[in-house]
Structure 1
Amino acid sequence: MPDTPRNPSADAEITCMLASIREGDTDALRRLVPLVYDDLRAIAHGRISGERNDHTLDTTAVVHEAYVRLVDGEGRDWRDRAHFFAVASSVMRHILIDYARMKGAKKRGGGVVPIPLGEVQAGRDPDFVDVLELHDALERLSMHDERLERIVECRFFGGMSMEETAEALGVSVRTANRDWRRARAYLYDALRS
């Protein structure tokens, strides 16, 4: 998503459809799919691209599972495009965690879904970290500052630009940049040990 040029009219159309969904228009869900599908695929592809060659989770499966969870979820009160993708980021995070736990339960040590640590801590060579370790670190981070956890979900799991992240969280870009630096520093320290 950060590398994709924003289309203000498409953003407005998505926001309009999300408003229709909030008002109970079930047909708006069907019309929303083609507008968000490519972005959801890009997010999912970015998150699973570092996996082993023998993994069974693919981009399409993640997108379909995320979409099912998004539309079947109780709260469909998405404010706008940025908020929708922030929620989608969180959903995809939990899909990856559920997948890693399931794989780990089937085969001890088999639940590793490697994620490039370099994506969390810019400027480092990409090491890989278990998604469950990252999840645990994010859980601890949220106890200190929930917004820092949400910024990681948007940026890392959602692939959102800093501007989109700031918009989704209702903060300035400057605040989002500062929070992103703090979150990465925390995660770097937490995942090194």
Structure 2
Amino acid sequence: MTVLLRAWSSGEERAREALIAMVYGQLRSIARRQLRRERHNHTLQPTAVVHEAYARLMAHDPIAWQDRRHFFAVITRAMRHVLVDHARARLAGKRDGGVIEGWDDVATEVGLVRAPELLAIDEALTQLAAIDPHKAQLVQLRFFGGLSLEETAELLGCSRATVVRDWRMARAWLFRELGR
């Protein structure tokens, strides 16, 4: 995958196509897991989330891909923006914003999350990124990417125990910020 990413960075269109074919199923799986936690009548489909995130990547200057971790960090960030922009659009058209279910472990603890709260989470995550980029990336992968603890540990190149510890700390920080 790293070879294809670097070839894509060098402008090789075939490498880009091969890479997307290689990870497309995994990207749809990530989007499906994320949407499974959303409200039941969500208008976005996993394919639409993946395609929109990919379109956003392609709209920017070419990215100097480093490795698999870098790719998934960027694509999950793009998925995050797709979901947040969708929530903003819903709020513009509907005062209460509807209900968005779940926030992985966090949702289990706090219950249902409404679209305005999703936007607050996004804002808090942006603030966390300024303080601790590693923890912000972890939250992004877990919440917006829908990755498991093991998948997150693999992508971040650390142990599952480190992810568990950092996840606890990041959640505590986010709870505090969101409670303000």
Q: Shorter-normalised TM-score: what interval? A: 0.7 to 0.9
Matched residues in 2 for 1:189 and 1:162: separation? 22
Count matched residues. Answer: 177
Say yes or no: does 1:50 pair with 2:37.
yes
Seq. identity, %: 44
Query: Given that residues 114 and 128 in structure 1 are in contact (C-alpha distance below 8 angstroms), is that contact kept between their aligned partners in structure 2?
Result: yes
Match of 2:106 among 108, 121, 124: 121
Shift of 1:192: 4.9
Matched residues in 1 for 2:72 and 2:11: separation? 20
Query: Given that residues 82 and 165 in structure 1 are in contact (C-alpha distance below 8 angstroms), is that contact kept between their aligned partners in structure 2?
Result: no
Shift of 1:105: 1.0
Shift of 1:21: 0.5
User: CA separation of 1:115/1:192 partners in 2, compared to 1, >3 Å: closer, same or farther?
Assistant: farther
Q: What TM-score results when the alignment is normalised by the length of structure 1?
A: 0.78
What RMSD in Å do the two structures reach over aligned CA positions? Answer: 2.5
Partner of residue 9, structure 1 = none
One-letter amino acid of the structure 1 residue matched with residue 47 of structure 2: T
Q: What TM-score results when the alignment is normalised by the length of structure 2?
A: 0.83
Q: Provide Cα deviations, 1:48-73, integer angstroms capped at 9, x if missing partner.
A: 12333433211111011011122333
Query: Given that residues 41 and 63 in structure 1 are in contact (C-alpha distance below 8 angstroms), is that contact kept between their aligned partners in structure 2?
Result: yes
Shift of 1:74: 1.8
Q: Which runs of 5+ in 2 are unaligned?
A: none
Q: Which runs of 5+ in 1 are unaligned?
A: 1-13
Aligned-partner SS, 1:121: helix
Matched residues in 2 for 1:101 and 1:143: separation? 23
Shift of 1:116: 1.0
Query: Given that residues 31 and 146 in structure 2 are in contact (C-alpha distance below 8 angstroms), is that contact kept between their aligned partners in structure 1?
Result: no
Which of the two has greater helix per residue? 2
Partner of residue 78, structure 2 = 91
What does 1:8-19 correspond to in 2, within 5 Å? 14-19=1-6
Query: Given that residues 121 and 185 in structure 1 are in contact (C-alpha distance below 8 angstroms), is that contact kept between their aligned partners in structure 2?
Result: no
One-letter amino acid of the structure 2 residue matched with residue 121 of structure 1: V
Query: Given that residues 149 and 164 in structure 2 are in contact (C-alpha distance below 8 angstroms), is that contact kept between their aligned partners in structure 1?
Result: yes
Shift of 1:86: 1.4
Say yes or no: does 1:145 pair with 2:169.
no
